[in-house]
Copies of this chain bind each other. A is one copy, B any other.
Amino acid sequence: MAEEQNAQDFTEDGDEGKRPLTRIQKVNRGKILEAALEVFSANGFRGATLDQIAAEAGLSKPNVLYYFPSKEAIHEALLGGLLDVWLAPLRAMNPEGEPREEIMRYMRRKLEMSREMPRESRLFANEVLQGAPRIGSGLSSDLKTLVDEKAAVIDHWIAQGRLAPVDPHHLIFSIWALTQHYADFDVQVRAVLGPGKDPIEGAAPFLDLLFTRLLTP
């Protein structure tokens, strides 16, 4: 029950030895990362055990540690490999595009990701909640750079009068908060709404309305 594609080729090594990476290696590293995503996102770093990950991946514990030197290394590989995917929609925001359309597209894409990749969302949420001890300053400074860059774009749009004046940083935070809420607090949302349709289906028109009203001058 863990048979997805893990589109990651792992050329990531600092120095020399770039062995071509066996077929078995590719398969098993993929299985481990998929299992680790499942287990880490559901239990957090400390709550997850190597035995769980090994069982979920269908491998023995020593075999898992044959492919990754430690539990921490698995976690890092996961986070590092996923961060780009996670930030891609924001990167894709086009300064040349129509302002409201660009921001709405970003919001909708993030909401889509909450539906399609809730485990990834929870993985990051877990990490940040505990003070981001394992993702730390390096990635956080990349994040800051990207956000500052896009905030400047939004400010420019506002200066042109093409967007209602709002604090761009908090606008971005609000997109994160509102979309990721449906992935991170899924159980609570479902508990309140009761059984039935996908909560995100109801969220989509609400968020459309919310951001339309916020951004229209």
Contact = CB atoms under 8 A, between A and B. Distances in A.
A132 B187 contact: yes
A43 B42 contact: no
A202 B167 contact: yes
B42 A191 contact: no
B130 A42 contact: yes
B170 A202 contact: yes
Which 3 residue pairs of A and B lie closest in terms of their CB atoms, listed nearest first? A177-B181, A46-B47, A140-B191
B131 A42 contact: yes
Interface stretch (A13-21, A61-69, A93-101, A207-215): A207-215
Number of copies of this kind of chain in the complex: 2
Interface residues of A, number: 54
Given A46-B46, A214-B214, A187 B131 contact: yes
A123 to B, nearest CB: 10
Interface of A: 42-47, 122, 125-126, 128-132, 137, 140-141, 143-144, 147-148, 164, 166-167, 169-174, 176-178, 180-182, 184-185, 187-189, 191-194, 202-203, 205-207, 209-210, 213-214
A43 B126 CA distance: 10
B129 A129 contact: yes
